Protein backbone atom coordinates (compact mmCIF):
# COMPACT_ATOMS: atom_id res chain seq x y z
CA UNK A 1 0.00 0.00 0.00
CA UNK A 2 1.25 3.48 -0.91
CA UNK A 3 0.53 5.92 1.90
CA UNK A 4 0.09 9.66 1.30
CA UNK A 5 -0.47 12.44 3.84
CA UNK A 6 -2.18 15.82 3.47
CA UNK A 7 -0.99 18.22 6.17
CA UNK A 8 -2.28 21.65 7.17
CA UNK A 9 -3.33 23.62 10.23
CA UNK A 10 -6.88 23.34 11.51
CA UNK A 11 -9.38 25.30 9.45
CA UNK A 12 -7.31 25.58 6.27
CA UNK A 13 -9.68 23.54 4.12
CA UNK A 14 -8.05 20.10 4.08
CA UNK A 15 -11.30 18.14 4.23
CA UNK A 16 -12.81 20.30 1.49
CA UNK A 17 -9.82 19.72 -0.82
CA UNK A 18 -9.11 16.05 -0.15
CA UNK A 19 -11.68 14.57 -2.57
CA UNK A 20 -10.34 16.64 -5.47
CA UNK A 21 -6.72 15.72 -4.67
CA UNK A 22 -7.54 12.01 -4.39
CA UNK A 23 -9.48 12.12 -7.66
CA UNK A 24 -6.55 13.72 -9.48
CA UNK A 25 -4.04 11.21 -8.08
CA UNK A 26 -6.23 8.11 -8.26
CA UNK A 27 -6.25 7.55 -4.49
CA UNK A 28 -9.41 5.66 -3.50
CA UNK A 29 -9.07 5.69 0.31
CA UNK A 30 -8.90 8.48 2.91
CA UNK A 31 -8.35 8.62 6.68
CA UNK A 32 -9.80 11.91 7.92
CA UNK A 33 -10.75 12.83 11.52
CA UNK A 34 -11.26 9.23 12.59
CA UNK A 35 -13.18 8.03 9.51
CA UNK A 36 -12.06 5.52 6.86
CA UNK A 37 -13.50 6.60 3.49
CA UNK A 38 -13.39 4.89 0.09
CA UNK A 39 -14.48 6.72 -3.07
CA UNK A 40 -16.33 9.33 -1.03
CA UNK A 41 -18.26 6.83 1.11
CA UNK A 42 -17.68 6.06 4.78
CA UNK A 43 -16.49 2.48 5.40
CA UNK A 44 -15.64 2.54 9.11
CA UNK A 45 -14.86 4.74 12.09
CA UNK A 46 -16.47 7.68 13.85
CA UNK A 47 -15.72 11.33 13.11
CA UNK A 48 -13.82 13.32 15.72
CA UNK A 49 -16.22 16.16 14.99
CA UNK A 50 -18.93 14.26 16.87
CA UNK A 51 -17.08 14.54 20.19
CA UNK A 52 -18.21 16.77 23.06
CA UNK A 53 -14.88 18.51 23.62
CA UNK A 54 -11.62 19.26 21.86
CA UNK A 55 -9.49 16.78 23.86
CA UNK A 56 -11.76 13.87 23.00
CA UNK A 57 -11.83 15.03 19.38
CA UNK A 58 -8.02 14.87 19.16
CA UNK A 59 -8.01 11.41 20.73
CA UNK A 60 -10.65 10.22 18.27
CA UNK A 61 -8.78 11.66 15.29
CA UNK A 62 -5.55 9.93 16.33
CA UNK A 63 -7.24 6.56 17.09
CA UNK A 64 -6.55 6.62 20.82
CA UNK A 65 -9.57 4.42 21.55
CA UNK A 66 -8.78 0.73 20.97
CA UNK A 67 -12.22 -0.36 19.74
CA UNK A 68 -12.27 2.49 17.22
CA UNK A 69 -8.70 1.75 16.08
CA UNK A 70 -9.39 -1.97 15.59
CA UNK A 71 -12.59 -1.29 13.64
CA UNK A 72 -10.73 0.86 11.11
CA UNK A 73 -7.71 -1.49 10.85
CA UNK A 74 -10.02 -4.42 10.09
CA UNK A 75 -11.89 -2.43 7.44
CA UNK A 76 -8.64 -1.35 5.74
CA UNK A 77 -7.35 -4.92 5.67
CA UNK A 78 -10.62 -6.23 4.21
CA UNK A 79 -10.69 -3.68 1.35
CA UNK A 80 -7.05 -4.19 0.26
CA UNK A 81 -6.73 -0.71 -1.27
CA UNK A 82 -3.50 0.08 -3.14
CA UNK A 83 -3.34 3.76 -2.09
CA UNK A 84 -4.52 5.65 0.97
CA UNK A 85 -4.25 9.29 2.11
CA UNK A 86 -4.12 10.43 5.74
CA UNK A 87 -5.35 13.93 6.61
CA UNK A 88 -3.84 15.69 9.64
CA UNK A 89 -2.79 19.00 11.14
CA UNK A 90 0.93 18.17 11.30
CA UNK A 91 3.54 15.67 10.14
CA UNK A 92 3.71 14.36 13.71
CA UNK A 93 -0.04 13.72 13.71
CA UNK A 94 -0.17 11.85 10.38
CA UNK A 95 2.87 9.78 11.38
CA UNK A 96 1.07 8.82 14.60
CA UNK A 97 -2.07 7.84 12.70
CA UNK A 98 -0.06 5.74 10.23
CA UNK A 99 1.56 3.95 13.17
CA UNK A 100 -1.73 3.41 15.03
CA UNK A 101 -3.41 1.95 11.95
CA UNK A 102 -0.36 -0.19 11.07
CA UNK A 103 -0.03 1.42 7.63
CA UNK A 104 3.76 1.58 7.64
CA UNK A 105 5.86 4.46 6.38
CA UNK A 106 4.26 7.47 4.69
CA UNK A 107 5.63 7.74 1.15
CA UNK A 108 4.62 11.33 0.33
CA UNK A 109 3.69 14.36 2.44
CA UNK A 110 1.62 17.10 0.78
CA UNK A 111 1.18 20.50 2.44
CA UNK A 112 -2.21 22.18 2.00
CA UNK A 113 -0.44 25.20 0.48
CA UNK A 114 0.59 23.01 -2.46
CA UNK A 115 -3.00 22.38 -3.53
CA UNK A 116 -4.88 25.46 -2.30
CA UNK A 117 -4.19 29.12 -2.98
CA UNK A 118 -3.51 31.53 -0.13
CA UNK A 119 -6.90 33.11 -0.81
CA UNK A 120 -8.68 29.76 -0.43
CA UNK A 121 -6.77 28.94 2.77
CA UNK A 122 -7.45 32.35 4.30
CA UNK A 123 -11.13 32.13 3.36
CA UNK A 124 -11.43 28.68 4.95
CA UNK A 125 -9.71 29.93 8.11
CA UNK A 126 -11.96 32.98 8.24
CA UNK A 127 -15.10 30.84 7.91
CA UNK A 128 -13.86 28.51 10.63
CA UNK A 129 -13.07 31.38 13.01
CA UNK A 130 -16.28 33.33 12.42
CA UNK A 131 -18.84 30.59 11.72
CA UNK A 132 -17.34 27.45 13.26
CA UNK A 133 -17.91 25.40 10.10
CA UNK A 134 -16.21 22.00 9.82
CA UNK A 135 -16.29 19.65 6.83
CA UNK A 136 -16.69 15.87 6.67
CA UNK A 137 -15.87 14.48 3.18
CA UNK A 138 -18.85 12.11 3.06
CA UNK A 139 -22.50 12.58 1.98
CA UNK A 140 -24.89 13.93 4.61
CA UNK A 141 -26.94 10.73 4.31
CA UNK A 142 -24.04 8.95 6.04
CA UNK A 143 -23.79 11.47 8.88
CA UNK A 144 -24.99 10.22 12.25
CA UNK A 145 -27.21 13.22 12.89
CA UNK A 146 -28.05 12.28 16.47
CA UNK A 147 -24.41 12.95 17.38
CA UNK A 148 -24.32 16.42 15.84
CA UNK A 149 -25.17 19.77 17.32
CA UNK A 150 -26.26 21.13 13.94
CA UNK A 151 -25.89 20.34 10.25
CA UNK A 152 -25.02 23.62 8.59
CA UNK A 153 -25.11 22.49 4.98
CA UNK A 154 -26.13 19.16 3.51
CA UNK A 155 -24.57 17.50 0.50
CA UNK A 156 -22.12 20.07 -0.85
CA UNK A 157 -21.28 18.59 -4.25
CA UNK A 158 -17.69 18.62 -5.48
CA UNK A 159 -16.64 18.50 -9.12
CA UNK A 160 -13.25 18.02 -10.74
CA UNK A 161 -11.75 20.69 -12.97
CA UNK A 162 -13.35 18.84 -15.90
CA UNK A 163 -16.77 19.17 -14.21
CA UNK A 164 -16.89 15.46 -13.42
CA UNK A 165 -18.72 14.67 -10.19
CA UNK A 166 -16.26 13.25 -7.63
CA UNK A 167 -18.22 13.21 -4.38
CA UNK A 168 -19.86 15.34 -1.75
CA UNK A 169 -19.11 16.69 1.69
CA UNK A 170 -21.17 17.66 4.73
CA UNK A 171 -20.60 20.90 6.63
CA UNK A 172 -21.34 20.71 10.36
CA UNK A 173 -20.94 22.62 13.59
CA UNK A 174 -19.46 20.25 16.21
CA UNK A 175 -20.40 20.36 19.88
CA UNK A 176 -16.88 21.36 20.88
CA UNK A 177 -16.99 24.67 18.99
CA UNK A 178 -17.34 27.62 21.35
CA UNK A 179 -19.89 29.40 19.19
CA UNK A 180 -19.75 31.82 16.30
CA UNK A 181 -18.45 35.33 15.78
CA UNK A 182 -20.58 37.54 13.56
CA UNK A 183 -18.73 40.30 11.71
CA UNK A 184 -21.24 42.77 10.28
CA UNK A 185 -20.49 43.98 6.76
CA UNK A 186 -20.32 47.56 8.11
CA UNK A 187 -17.15 46.54 9.96
CA UNK A 188 -15.45 45.66 6.67
CA UNK A 189 -16.76 48.81 5.01
CA UNK A 190 -15.68 51.12 7.85
CA UNK A 191 -12.25 49.53 8.03
CA UNK A 192 -11.69 49.92 4.27
CA UNK A 193 -12.77 53.56 4.32
CA UNK A 194 -10.55 54.25 7.34
CA UNK A 195 -7.52 52.76 5.55
CA UNK A 196 -8.23 54.88 2.46
CA UNK A 197 -8.62 58.11 4.40
CA UNK A 198 -5.35 57.56 6.26
CA UNK A 199 -3.55 58.26 2.98
CA UNK A 200 -2.84 61.99 2.90
CA UNK A 201 -3.73 62.41 -0.77
CA UNK A 202 -7.24 60.92 -0.39
CA UNK A 203 -9.88 63.68 -0.07
CA UNK A 204 -12.83 61.33 0.22
CA UNK A 205 -13.68 57.65 -0.18
CA UNK A 206 -16.97 55.83 -0.65
CA UNK A 207 -17.83 52.17 -1.21
CA UNK A 208 -20.06 51.83 -4.28
CA UNK A 209 -20.51 48.07 -4.29
CA UNK A 210 -19.28 45.11 -2.25
CA UNK A 211 -19.56 41.38 -1.62
CA UNK A 212 -18.66 40.58 1.97
CA UNK A 213 -20.28 37.13 1.92
CA UNK A 214 -17.90 35.37 -0.47
CA UNK A 215 -15.37 38.26 -0.60
CA UNK A 216 -15.33 38.34 -4.39
CA UNK A 217 -15.06 42.09 -4.90
CA UNK A 218 -15.36 45.60 -3.54
CA UNK A 219 -15.62 48.83 -5.56
CA UNK A 220 -14.31 52.01 -3.92
CA UNK A 221 -14.91 55.54 -5.23
CA UNK A 222 -11.97 57.86 -4.54
CA UNK A 223 -11.47 61.63 -4.65
CA UNK A 224 -7.84 62.75 -4.67
CA UNK A 225 -5.63 65.73 -3.90
CA UNK A 226 -3.10 65.32 -6.67
CA UNK A 227 -0.80 67.06 -9.10
CA UNK A 228 -1.24 66.42 -12.81
CA UNK A 229 2.54 66.30 -13.07
CA UNK A 230 2.52 62.99 -11.18
CA UNK A 231 1.45 59.54 -12.36
CA UNK A 232 -2.21 59.14 -11.41
CA UNK A 233 -2.03 55.33 -11.41
CA UNK A 234 0.42 55.13 -8.49
CA UNK A 235 -1.91 56.34 -5.68
CA UNK A 236 -4.75 54.13 -6.94
CA UNK A 237 -2.50 51.07 -6.90
CA UNK A 238 -1.33 51.97 -3.40
CA UNK A 239 -4.96 52.17 -2.22
CA UNK A 240 -5.57 48.67 -3.62
CA UNK A 241 -2.48 47.36 -1.86
CA UNK A 242 -3.29 48.99 1.50
CA UNK A 243 -6.87 47.69 1.49
CA UNK A 244 -5.71 44.18 0.59
CA UNK A 245 -3.04 44.20 3.32
CA UNK A 246 -5.53 45.42 5.95
CA UNK A 247 -8.13 42.74 5.14
CA UNK A 248 -5.43 40.09 5.30
CA UNK A 249 -3.94 41.39 8.56
CA UNK A 250 -7.19 41.93 10.47
CA UNK A 251 -9.48 39.23 9.05
CA UNK A 252 -7.19 36.79 7.17
CA UNK A 253 -9.20 37.22 3.98
CA UNK A 254 -8.24 38.18 0.44
CA UNK A 255 -10.71 39.86 -1.92
CA UNK A 256 -10.67 38.51 -5.45
CA UNK A 257 -10.99 42.03 -6.87
CA UNK A 258 -10.52 45.48 -5.37
CA UNK A 259 -11.84 48.01 -7.91
CA UNK A 260 -10.88 51.68 -7.56
CA UNK A 261 -13.00 54.29 -9.34
CA UNK A 262 -11.52 57.78 -9.53
CA UNK A 263 -14.37 60.29 -9.17
CA UNK A 264 -12.59 63.62 -8.77
CA UNK A 265 -9.20 65.31 -8.48
CA UNK A 266 -8.41 68.52 -6.64
CA UNK A 267 -5.27 69.97 -8.16
CA UNK A 268 -2.43 70.76 -5.80
CA UNK A 269 0.85 72.54 -6.54
Q: Give the CA distances from residue 57 to residues 9, 17, 204, in Å, rounded to whole numbers and listed in that order.
A: 15, 21, 50
Gap between the Cα atoms of 245 and 198, Å rounded: 14
Residue partners of 206: CB distance under 8 A and separation at least 6: 193, 220, 221
Check: CB of residue 165 under 8 Å from CB of residue 159: yes
Higher pLDDT, 178 or 266: 266
Q: What is the pLDDT of residue 242?
A: 95
Q: Find the range with the poorest average confidence among 53-62, 109-118, 163-172, 240-249.
A: 163-172
Phi, psi of 227 (to 5 degrees): -100, 135
Nearest to 263 by CA among 233, 232, 223: 223
Neighbour tally for 146: CB within 10 Å: 6
Residue 149: per-residue pLDDT: 47
Domain ranges of the chain: 2-173, 185-267
- Domain 185-267 annotated CATH 3.30.300.30: yes
pLDDT tens-digit readout, 181-195:
778 889 999 999 999
**Using CA atoms, how far apart are residues 46 and 222, in angstroms rounded to an integer?**
54
Is residue 13 over pLDDT 70? yes
250's CB contacts (< 8 A; 6+ apart) are 191
Q: Mean pLDDT for the chain?
A: 83
Answer whether residue 206 shows pLDDT above 50: yes
Average pLDDT (109-120) is 85
Confidence of residue 164 (pLDDT cuts 50, 70, 90): low
- pTM greater than 0.85 (yes/no): no
Amino acid sequence: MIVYALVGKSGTGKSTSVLQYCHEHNIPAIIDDGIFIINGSKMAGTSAKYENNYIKAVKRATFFYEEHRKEVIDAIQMTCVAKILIVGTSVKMVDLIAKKLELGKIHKYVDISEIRTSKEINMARHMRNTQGKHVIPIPYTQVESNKLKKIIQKGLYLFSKQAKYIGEVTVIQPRFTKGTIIVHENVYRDMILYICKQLKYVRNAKILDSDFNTFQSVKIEIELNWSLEKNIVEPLEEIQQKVNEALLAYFEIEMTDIHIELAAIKLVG
